[in-house]
Amino acid sequence: MSVIDPIPRIETRRLALRAPCMSDATRLALLANDFDIARMTTRMPYPYRQEDAEAFLGRMETLDHAREAAFVIEHEDEGAIGVIALHPSDSFAPEIGYWLGRAYWGRGFATEAAAAVLAWTKSRWGRRALVSGHFADNPASGRVLEKAGFLYTGEVLPRHSEARGEPARTRMMVWLA
C-alpha cells in the first residue's frame, strides 16, 4: 500500500462519491446485472453476479492509491447508483471508467460525477492527464467525456469487451488538466 491519501468523500450538488466497501456488493450486483451496461465496458462480465461484485470490491480494498482510485456514486435519496474509477492503462496516463444503473441514466449524474473526479484528480491526486475510450456505439459516454473536457485523439482501437465476448471499435479520448 502507498502512503497516498485514501479515497476521500466528495460531495457534489446531488451526489456523494465515496470509497467502495464490501457491503455495497448486493446493491452493485443488482444494478450492474444489465447487458446494456456491461456491453459498454471492457471488463464487466454479463451476467454480473454477487460474486463478481464481491471480487471487484475485494480488489478495491487493496488498491494502491497512488495508481488507482474508485468511488461509489451515491444519490442523496437512492443510495448507490453506480461506480466511477481511475485505473492504470497501457497509455501514458490513467484511464477513467464509469457506469450507472439504468434507472439513473439521462439526468446528468455521470457528467456531475466525472467533473468532481476530474477536479479531485487535478487538485488532490496530482495527475494532469487522463485517457478514456468509449465504444463507437456508445455516443452517450462520448458526450459525458466531451462535457467533462475530454477531446478525441482521432485514434480508434479495437478493444475487447468481456460481456460482448469480442472486440469493439473504441474511440480514444484524452483530458489535460
Ligand X SMILES: CC(C)(COP(=O)(O)OP(=O)(O)OC[C@H]1O[C@@H](n2cnc3c(N)ncnc32)[C@H](O)[C@@H]1OP(=O)(O)O)[C@@H](O)C(=O)NCCC(=O)NCCS
Which residues of this protein are in contact with ligand X, per CB under 6 A? 37, 40-41, 97-100, 105-111, 134, 138-141, 143-144
Q: How far apart are CA 59 and CA 9, in angstroms?
A: 19
**From its phi and psi, is residue 152 left (phi > 0), alpha (psi between -120 and 50) or beta?**
beta
Q: Nearer to ligand X by C-beta: 8 or 108?
A: 108
CB nearer to ligand X: give 66 or 140.
140
Q: Tell me if residue 101 falls in helix, strand or coil.
A: coil
Nearest-angstrom CA–CA distance, 66 and 63: 8
**C-beta of 66 vs 157, nearer to ligand X:** 157
Measured from the CB of residue 22, what is the shortest distance to ligand X in angstroms? 22
What are the E-state strand segments in the chain? 10-11, 15-18, 69-75, 79-87, 95-100, 129-135, 151-161, 166-176
Shortest distance in whole angstroms from residue 158 CB to ligand X: 15
- The answer to whether the beta carbons of residues 82 and 100 sit under 8 Å apart is yes
Measured CA to CA, the distance from residue 108 to residue 140 in angstroms comes to 11
- Smallest separation, CB 3 to ligand X (Å): 31
Amino acid at 48: Y
User: Nearest approach, Cβ of 108 to ligand X (angstroms)?
Assistant: 4
Report the candidate in 96, 142, 116 with the shortest Cα–Cα distance to residue 14: 116
User: 25 or 73, CB closer to ligand X?
Assistant: 73
Comparison of 6 and 106: residue with beta carbon closer to ligand X: 106
Shortest reach from residue 135's CB to ligand X, in Å: 7
Length of the chain: 177
